[in-house]
């Protein structure tokens, strides 16, 4: 089956042996003992009271897993999924005077890159970053900007590119808990995509922090027999500026335009012969204010035409952003 992604609102986790890894949103009632790496997204599913969501990546076996560098990982011959969580309070104070979150971010990514190198799956495809109090300020810097500093330092330390060939990602704020990062990596590189409506995030000017965020707007990846499109967390940003502050419906529409634009970029290079489309993706919306979820759903509904949308209450990395949406799809590649 190569790479497959499933979303379920049932409480029972699948008993299938071919699960590479997964994540859950909300407070799962019955996780059971999980054999695979699992990222708990410590944030409520919306609307309030909706059941927990479980998502899994499934692949062909045989699978092998382990724990190294504080990372629970699982892999097959071509791709690896891992989860690493680091408590910033346990970071030793740094000589350079950086904040604990900056240090935790750097250490976490340095470990991640060491693992990928040791495993022979050096190419990061998609990263999910979650941290507490993302818009809080300490050490004279917003915490998201501290995270960007540490992440950037680790990319440099590992002699990786900090622009251009960088992974698709999201960076989202939750109420508490450790810095939590899940990642998919492969033996083959992704094709990174940028959005012509937006300045590449790795080129953001210094008004958004001393180091720019290290992610691409989207990526095409090629697990065996498949073409996967990962659209990074996408928000109401044009150029590098937030547009429609205070207007969640307009932010949703602008975000959808940005995703549509990335879908077009993907289709310029896609190889599967079947174009990607907004209503052929599955979407996750991070909604800052729970009360906005109706507006978010109502605004997106005509575009979704039945496509999956999971809404989560979480903070976005700029205080003026009310919503962020990420999306993905996996298409079969025609037989050669």
CA distances to 12, 22, 325, 334 from 56, in Å? 12, 4, 19, 24
Asked if 21 and 67 touch (Cβ cutoff 8 Å), the reply is: no
- What count of Cα atoms within 13 Å lies in the side-chain half-sphere of residue 188? 13
- State the Cα–Cα distance between residues 21 and 3, nearest whole angstrom: 11
> Residues with Cβ < 8 Å from 185, sequence gap 6 or more?
79, 80, 81, 82, 116, 119, 121, 122, 123, 124, 125
Please identify, among the stretches 82-90, 117-125, 165-173, 242-250, the one whose residues bind ligand 3EB according to the rule CB under 6 A: 165-173
* Smallest distance from ligand 3EB to CB 214, Å: 7
- Please say which residue, 80 or 201, places its beta carbon nearer to ligand 3EB: 201
Binding of ligand 3EB by 195 (CB under 6 A) = no
Report residue 225 as tokens: 């027999």
Which of residues 213, 221, 252, 287 is near ligand 3EB by CB under 6 A? 213
Please identify, among the stretches 156-164, 185-193, 228-236, 244-252, the one whose residues bind ligand 3EB according to the rule CB under 6 A: 228-236
- Please say which residue, 46 or 166, places its beta carbon nearer to ligand 3EB: 166
Which of residues 235, 270, 287, 303 is near ligand 3EB by CB under 6 A? 235
Report residue 90 as tokens: 């346990």
Binding of ligand 3EB by 150 (CB under 6 A) = no
Binding of ligand 3EB by 233 (CB under 6 A) = yes
- Chain centroid, CA 266 distance in Å: 18
* Smallest distance from ligand 3EB to CB 232, Å: 4
* Cα dihedral: 58, 164, 156, 143 (round 10): -80
* Smallest distance from ligand 3EB to CB 150, Å: 12
CA distances to 55, 233, 275 from 179, in Å? 20, 17, 36
Binding of ligand 3EB by 155 (CB under 6 A) = no
Binding of ligand 3EB by 216 (CB under 6 A) = no
* Smallest distance from ligand 3EB to CB 205, Å: 12
Active-site choice (55, 194, 254, 324): 324
Pairing of β 19-25 and β 38-41: parallel
Is residue 27 part of the annotated active site? The answer reads no
Which of residues 73, 113, 202, 215 is near ligand 3EB by CB under 6 A? 215
Binding of ligand 3EB by 237 (CB under 6 A) = yes
Residue in the block written with tokens 């979650």: 130
Binding of ligand 3EB by 181 (CB under 6 A) = no
* Smallest distance from ligand 3EB to CB 211, Å: 11
Element (H, E) at 238: strand 237-238
- Please say which residue, 3 or 325, places its beta carbon nearer to ligand 3EB: 325
Helices marked H in the chain: 100-119, 143-157, 248-269, 293-304
Binding of ligand 3EB by 201 (CB under 6 A) = yes
Which of residues 91, 232, 255, 299 is near ligand 3EB by CB under 6 A? 232
- State the Cα–Cα distance between residues 289 and 224, nearest whole angstrom: 40
Site residues for ligand 3EB per CB under 6 A: 129, 169-171, 201, 213, 215, 232-233, 235, 237, 317
- Give me the active site residues, please: 324
């Amino acid at each position: 089956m190569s790479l497959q992604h499933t979303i379920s609102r049932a409480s029972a986790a699948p008993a299938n042996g071919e699960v590479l890894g997964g994540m859950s949103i909300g407070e799962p009632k019955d996780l059971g003992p999980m054999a695979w790496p699992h990222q708990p997204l410590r944030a409520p599913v919306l609307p309030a009271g909706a059941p927990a969501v479980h998502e899994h990546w499934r692949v062909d076996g045989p699978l092998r897993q382990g724990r190294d560098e504080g990372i629970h990982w699982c892999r097959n011959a071509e791709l690896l999924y891992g989860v690493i969580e680091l408590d910033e309070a346990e970071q030793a104070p740094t000589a350079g005077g950086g904040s604990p979150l900056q240090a935790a971010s750097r250490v976490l990514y340095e470990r991640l890159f060491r693992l990928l190198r040791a495993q022979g799956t050096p190419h990061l495809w998609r990263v999910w970053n979650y941290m507490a109090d993302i818009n809080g300020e300490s050490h004279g810097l917003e915490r998201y900007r501290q995270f960007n500093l540490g992440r950037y330092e680790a990319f440099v330390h590992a002699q990786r590119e900090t622009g251009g060939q960088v992974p698709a990602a999201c960076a989202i704020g939750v109420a508490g808990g450790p810095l939590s990062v899940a990642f998919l990596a492969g033996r083959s590189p992704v094709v990174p995509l940028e959005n012509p409506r937006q300045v590449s995030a790795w080129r953001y000017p210094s008004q958004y922090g001393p180091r720019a965020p290290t992610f691409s707007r989207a990526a095409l990846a090629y697990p065996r027999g498949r073409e996967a499109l990962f659209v990074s967390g996408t928000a109401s940003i044009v150029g590098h500026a937030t547009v429609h502050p205070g207007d969640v419906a307009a932010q949703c529409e602008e975000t959808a335009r940005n995703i549509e634009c990335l879908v077009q970029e993907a289709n310029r290079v896609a190889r599967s012969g079947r174009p990607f489309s907004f209503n052929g993706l599955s979407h996750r919306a991070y909604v800052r204010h729970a009360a906005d979820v109706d507006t978010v759903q109502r605004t997106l509904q005509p575009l979704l035409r039945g496509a999956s949308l999971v809404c989560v209450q979480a903070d976005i990395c700029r205080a003026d952003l009310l919503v962020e949406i990420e999306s993905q799809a996996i298409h079969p590649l025609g037989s050669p």
